[in-house]
Amino acid sequence: MPLNYTDTKAYRADEKVQHSQLTDRQKRHIMKNSLPAPVENRQPTSTLSAKPERRSRLGIRKFTLHQIHVLIFACMHGLFSLYIRIRQIINVVSYQLSSVLYYHHATPQYIQKDVSRLNKLPKHLSAILKSDNRRAAVDLDRLVDETAELATWCACAEIPQLSVYEKTGLLKKHMPRVYEAVTQKLAFYYGGDHPSLSVTSPHRDSYSSPSLDNSLGHLKLHLISEQDGRESVVDLTRTLAEMSQKGKLSPKDISMELIDNELSEGIMAEPDLLILFGPTVQLSSYPPWQIRLTEIFCLKDNETFGYQVFLKALRNYASAQMRRGK
């Protein structure tokens, strides 16, 4: 209700004293000014003579208003596309520049130096990688490579856990390959000794390197897909329903803690930071239960996967504060 200035003032003054100042009529008057016209009840009028003329006038007025609206709509969108193109160009150029500026040179020391200035790091990082359904074979190479890069950066930044979400589940199907690729990448970055690695996925065997007590740390890479989202909640419900049908559990026993426990044990725990490598904030069926308080980072208009996105996300995370409803 966009009230005019005097009405707003009166309204606010009235509010201060618990709405006791204004009388009923005054309040109605204030509201009436800003209300839309009452919904007209079209009743067939018997006065035929007056009808055609009025209707045609109304029609013309409506028609012109509609034309004006269409015109303004077209103008607005024309200008807006122009604006968004310019914004995209500016952003992409600046991201390109920063990717040159912040380059890791495949050296863990550089990444550690970049990260050391941050006052807090996520303990559990997650990322959504885009997949293109049409060219699965080409896509797999790219996805595996991106996962390997990201995992290595995490290992260098000493982030102990990384969950990679890929909608179709392509990565999950090729876990050994992912494991190989990440190990190779780690060896490439670190030279000889590199942090140990374990690759896991819900309901699948894990792959882990033999020596877990490594001085350089350990990275847990977790692969998830669309199935671990809504579908997993449905599966849990099925299990619970079956249990309750057998009398092992009453619906009252189902608590938030129970569900949280099951989903974080069975699927994954809540990540601290989620990085989107896409131009817009869209979660593409990411597990809903787990993104409750996750900090979501998306670089506007960015289409590329790169180290600068990772670094900016970490910086953003370090500067964000958690209030938890307080």
Partner 1 sequence: MSDVVSILRRFVFESPPGEWAIKQLRELLIGALKQGPVPQHVAFEMDGNRRYARSHRMETVEGHHRGFEALARIMEICYKAGVKTVTVYAFSIENFNRPKYEVEGLMQLAKVKLEQLTTYGDVLDRYGAAVRVMGQREMIRDDVLQVVDKAVARTRHNQKAILNICFPYTSRAEITTAIQSTVAEFLAPPPPKNTPFSQTRIRQNILSRQLNGHDPLPTIRDSSPEKQTQAGDGAYAAEVEESGDLDEGASSSTTLPPDSPPPRLRDGADQSHLPNPEDITVDTLDSHMYTSEDPPLDLFVRTSGVERLSDFMLWQCHQDTQIFFLDCLWPDFDLHHFIWVLLEWQWRMKQRDRDEAPGRRRHVKPRKLVE
Query: Do 224 and 172 contact (CB within 8 A), yes or no?
Result: yes
Q: Return the bridge partners of 297, or none.
A: 275
Per CB under 8 A, 284 contacts partner 1: yes
Q: Which of 131, 147, 227, 308 is in the footprint of partner 1 by CB under 8 A? A: 227
Footprint (CB under 8 A) of partner 1, residues 228-247: 229-247
8 Å CB contact between 128 and 275: yes
Using an 8 Å Cβ cutoff, are 195 and 154 in contact? no
CA 102 to chain CA mean position, Å = 25
Which of 58, 60, 72, 187 forms a contact with partner 1 (CB under 8 A)?
Answer: 72
Biggest distance spanned by C-alpha atoms of the chain: 97
Taking the complex as a whole, the smallest distance from the CB of residue 139 to partner 1 amounts, in Å, to: 17
> Per-residue x/- mask for partner 1, residues 4 to 43, rule CB under 8 A?
xx--x---x--x--xx-------xx--x--xxx-xx----
Of 268, 151, 267, the closest CA to residue 217 belongs to 151
Binding residues for partner 1, rule CB under 8 A, total 89
Looking only at residues 41 through 70 of this chain, which bind partner 1 when binding is defined by CB under 8 A? 65, 68-70
For the CB of residue 231, give the shortest distance to partner 1 in the complex, in Å: 7
Give the whole-angstrom CA distance, residue 55 versus residue 128: 56
294 part of the interface to partner 1, by CB under 8 A: yes
What one-character DSSP code corresponds to residue 96? H
Instruction: Decide: is 297 part of the binding site for partner 1 (CB under 8 A).
Output: yes
Q: Which of 82, 89, 187, 293 binds partner 1 (CB under 8 A)?
A: 293
Judged by CB, which is closer to partner 1: 215, or 250? 250
Token pair for residue 92?
Answer: 């992409």
